[in-house]
Amino acid sequence: MTTNNKQQNDASGIRLKEILGVLKKHHITSGIQPEKLRQILEDLGPTYVKLGQIMSMRSDMLPES
Q: What is the pLDDT of residue 33?
A: 85
What pTM does this model have? 0.63
What is the residue-level pLDDT of the chain in tens, covering all 65 positions? 677 777 778 888 898 899 899 999 999 888 888 888 889 888 988 877 787 788 777 777 666 66
Please state, in angstroms and rounded to a whole number, the distance separating the CA atoms of residues 34 and 26. 12
Please state, in angstroms and rounded to a whole number, the distance separating the CA atoms of residues 24 and 14. 15
Q: Which residues contact 64 (CB under 8 A, 6 or more apart)?
A: none
